Chain A
Amino acid sequence: MKNIIKMSLRNLLRSGRRTALTASLITIGVVFVLVYAALSGSFKAYMVGQITDSMLGHVQIHKKGYVASIDSLPLDKNLNQKQIEKITEFLDDNPYIESYTFRLKLGAMFSNYIASTSVRLNGINPKKETQTLPLFASRIDGSDPSSLKEGSIIVPELLAKGMNIKKDDTIVLVATNQKGSVNGLNFKVAGTSETVSGPGGRDGYIHINDVKKLLRIKQVEVSEVVVRLKDVDQLYKAMQLLKPLTLLKNEKDKPLFEIHTWEKLSPFYNIVKMLDIMDISIKIILISIVLISILNVMVMSVYERIKEIGTIAAMGTTPSTISKLFLTEGLMLGIFGTILGAMLSYVIVFVINTIGITFSFGRQDNLTLNPVLNFNEVLVVSIIVIIISLIASISPARKASKLNPVDALRQN
Chain B
Amino acid sequence: MISNEHVSKVYKMGEVDLRVIKDLNLQVSHGEFVAIVGPSGSGKSTVLNLLGCLDKPTEGKILIDETDVTQLDTTALANFRGENIGFIFQSFNLIPVLSVYENIEYPLIMIQNLPEQERHKRIMELLKDVDMLDQKDKFPDQLSGGQRQRVAIARALVTKPKIVFADEPTANLDTKTSNQIITLMRNIQQEFNTTFIFATHDEKIVRVVDRIITLVDGVVTDDKRIAS
Contact = CB atoms under 8 A, between A and B. Distances in A.
B93 interface: yes
Contacts of A11: 97
A409 B82 contact: no
The range of chain A's interface size is 20 to 34
Given A14-B96, A312-B95, A406-B49, A317 B78 contact: yes
B38 interface: no
A310 B90 CA distance: 14
B111 interface: yes
A314 B75 contact: no
Interface stretch (B62-70, B102-110, B124-132): B102-110
Contacts of A111: none
Nearest to B95: A308
Contacts of B219: none
Interface string A312-328: 11111111110000000
Interface in B151-194: 155, 159
Interface string B98-121: 100000001101110000000000
A406 B78 contact: no
A209 interface: no
Contacts of B54: 314, 405-406, 409
B93 A311 contact: yes
A7 interface: yes
Nearest to B110: A317
B55 interface: yes
Contact of A406 (B55, B82, B96): B55
A3 B52 contact: no
A3 B97 contact: no
Interface residues of B, number: 28
A311 B89 contact: yes
A316 B81 contact: yes
B33 interface: no
A281 B96 CA distance: 42
A7 B97 contact: yes
A10 interface: yes
Contacts, number: 68
Contacts of B89: 311, 409
A317 B93 contact: no
A310 B91 CA distance: 13
Interface in B55-96: 55, 74-75, 78-83, 85-87, 89, 93, 95-96
A312 B98 contact: no
Nearest to A412: B91
A132 to B, nearest CB: 67
B110 A314 contact: no
Contacts of A10: 97-98
Contacts of A14: 96-97
Contacts of A404: 55
A7 B86 CA distance: 21
A315 B152 CA distance: 11
Contacts of B86: 315
A307 B93 contact: yes
Given A11-B97, A315-B87, A3 B109 contact: yes
B81 A312 contact: no
Query: Which of A308, A316, A317 has the most chain B CB within a 10 Å cutoff?
Result: A316
A406 B82 CA distance: 16
Contact of A314 (B74, B87, B97): B87
B75 A311 contact: no
Contacts of A316: 78-83, 85, 107, 111, 159
Nearest to B83: A316
Which of A3, A14, A311, A320 has its CB near the most chain B CB atoms (within 10 A)?
A: A311
B51 to A, nearest CB: 12
Contacts of A3: 109-110
Interface string A1-43: 0011001001101100000000000000000000000000000
Given A320-B75, A406-B49, A406-B54, A314 B81 contact: yes
B79 A308 contact: no
B160 to A, nearest CB: 13
Contact of A313 (B78, B96, B97, B106): B78
Interface string B176-218: 0000000000000000000000000000000000000000000
A312 B106 contact: yes
Interface in A300-314: 307-308, 310-314
B1 to A, nearest CB: 18
B98 A315 contact: no
Contact of B82 (A4, A308, A317, A405): A317
B172 to A, nearest CB: 13
A311 B54 CA distance: 11
11 contacts: A10-B97, A308-B96, A311-B87, A314-B52, A315-B87, A315-B155, A316-B83, A316-B159, A404-B55, A405-B55, A409-B89
Task: Kindly list the 4 A-B residue pairs having the minimum CB-CB distance in the complex, ordered from nearest.
Answer: A316-B82, A10-B97, A311-B93, A316-B81
Interface of B: 49, 52, 54-55, 74-75, 78-83, 85-87, 89, 93, 95-98, 106-107, 109-111, 155, 159
Given A308-B95, A317-B78, A406-B54, 8 more contacts: A10-B98, A314-B52, A314-B54, A315-B106, A316-B78, A319-B78, A404-B55, A406-B55
